[in-house]
Amino acid sequence: MTPLPKRRFVIDMYSSRYPLWCMPEEDSARIRAALPADWELIEVEEEADGSGDGVPRRTPALLAALADAEVYVGFGIPREVFECSDRIRWVHSGAAGVGGSLYPEMRESDVIFTNSSGTHGVPMAEHAIAMMFYFARALDHAEVGRRQRRWNRDPIADVPGPVRELTDSVVGIIGYGGIGRDVGRRAKGLGMRVWAVKRHPDQDYPEVERLFGPTDLHEVLAGSDYVVLTVPSTPETEGLIGAAALAGMKREAVLVNVARGTLVDEAALVEALRSRSIRGAGLDVFVDEPLPASSPLWELDNVCLTPHVGGVSPRFWARETELIIENLRRYLKEEPLLNVVDKQAGY
């Protein structure tokens, strides 16, 4: 009797360029051990894209791996990969943002799509807090002095000066999902007053002083000392922070973006920073990545720029693998999965 073909679980998380985004052997071994005997695990040993959107490619090795695949785990799934198999039933992305994978074919399919919201929450929240501290302690002024080899004490110690305490400052968190809550809890622990904007402000959070809906964004911008963007990138949120939004912020306010670059009109932001109509901006994400050398953002001294590393953590794979294994258990038992993406809402 011919044996039945095994159900196939594909992992496409290999990277020689960025070892941090390459699934360690011990973690793929844990997933293999969690699979029943009638399943096989296929690891694609070609360069994957850890940006979350996935690099379009149709290579022989990938086509072979995806033939008859039921589950695909990668960093997003580009259309070219999705079209390689008509048997995929569950796709998991190692990124929290999934906008690049929500093309019509995915949206209209019955494929379950999960993301890694939560696994990046701790490092991204700490990154956002670090950017707030950067401006609260006037480290941008200290950095100017360092570059000039000058003891730049007077501008920092001036009264009134650029130094602030985070304690009792208002942080407005735009997007109060898993990452936003991680920011909010840490901000509350530092004595900050937490305001949050949520698409459906229908529940209470102990750390939140005031919870708003999207239509009240202007009130949050006007009242916040720090505005932190943790909202997903969708057609509705693209360009969310433009000239009008920036004009509505306090002159001493700081904008922090650890979500997606498309949320901010960069030209309007550059103008606001040049004119000092806001205190500064901490940016980990940009419209174009890598940020071009020609970008005027590089020339400004009231910015903190990092190269999309807010989610970097030595503990990422431990959290990610736990999520995959738990969802695998649920999938096999036909139970609801964690972190299911609303493909119509975009997150």
Domain ranges within the chain, ordered by starting residue: 7-119+313-332, 121-305
Q: What is the CATH number of domain 7-119+313-332?
A: 3.40.50.720
pLDDT 10s digits, 295-313: 999 999 999 999 999 999 9
Cα–Cα dist 337/323, whole Å: 10
Cα–Cα dist 49/14, whole Å: 8
Cα–Cα dist 122/118, whole Å: 8
Instruction: Report the chain's mean pLDDT, rounded to a whole number.
Output: 95
Judge contact between 12 and 76, C-beta under 8 A: no
Number of Cβ atoms within 10 Å of the Cβ of 286: 20
Cα–Cα dist 305/285, whole Å: 8
Q: Is the pLDDT of residue 1 over 60?
A: no
Region 84-93: what's the mean pLDDT?
A: 94
pLDDT 10s digits, 199-224: 999 899 999 999 999 999 999 999 99
Cα–Cα dist 206/225, whole Å: 20
In percent, the amount of the chain with pLDDT more than 90 equals: 84
Q: Which residues of 8-24 are buried (b: 16+ CB within 10 A; e: fewer)?
A: bbbbbbbbeeeeebbbe
Q: What is the CA radius of gyration of the chain?
A: 22
Q: What single-letter DSSP state applies at residue 101?
A: G
Judge contact between 254 and 278, C-beta under 8 A: yes
Q: How many CA atoms lie within 13 A of 280 on its CB side?
A: 21
At residue 162's C-alpha, the angle toward residues 183 and 248, to 5°, is: 65
- For residue 339, the model assigns a pLDDT of 96
Categorize the per-residue pLDDT at 2 as very low, low, confident or very high, splitting at 50, 70 and 90.
Answer: low
Q: At which residue do the structure tokens 């239509």 appear?
A: 215
Q: Is the dihedral of CA 298, 260, 265, 231 positive or negative?
A: negative
Q: Is 163 helix (H, G, I), strand (E, B) or coil?
A: coil
Lowest mean pLDDT among 3-17, 115-129, 254-268: 3-17
Categorize the per-residue pLDDT at 5 as very low, low, confident or very high, splitting at 50, 70 and 90.
Answer: confident
Cis previous bond, 336, omega within 30: no
| pTM of the full structure | 0.92
Cα–Cα dist 52/233, whole Å: 12
Catalytic residues: 260, 289, 308
Region 128-156: what's the mean pLDDT?
A: 97
Lowest mean pLDDT among 6-20, 26-40, 324-338: 6-20
Judge contact between 114 and 92, C-beta under 8 A: yes
Closest-CA residue to 120 (of 282, 296, 323, 301):
323
- Out of 47-51, 92-96, 158-162, 272-276, the most confident range is 272-276
- For residue 53, the model assigns a pLDDT of 62
Q: Are strands 210-212 and 254-257 parallel, antiparallel or unpaired?
A: unpaired
- For residue 51, the model assigns a pLDDT of 63
pLDDT 10s digits, 229-268: 999 999 999 999 999 999 999 999 999 999 999 999 999 9
Q: Is the pLDDT of residue 120 over 70?
A: yes
Query: What's the fold here for domain 121-305?
Result: Rossmann fold (3.40.50)
Q: Is the pLDDT of residue 55 over 80?
A: no
Say which residue, 285 or 3, is predicted with more confidence.
Answer: 285
Lowest mean pLDDT among 157-161, 215-219, 271-275: 157-161
Judge contact between 295 and 1, C-beta under 8 A: no
Categorize the per-residue pLDDT at 20 as very low, low, confident or very high, splitting at 50, 70 and 90.
Answer: confident
In percent, the amount of the chain with pLDDT more than 70 equals: 97
Cis previous bond, 155, omega within 30: no
Fold match flag (7-119+313-332 vs 121-305): yes
Judge contact between 286 and 298, C-beta under 8 A: no
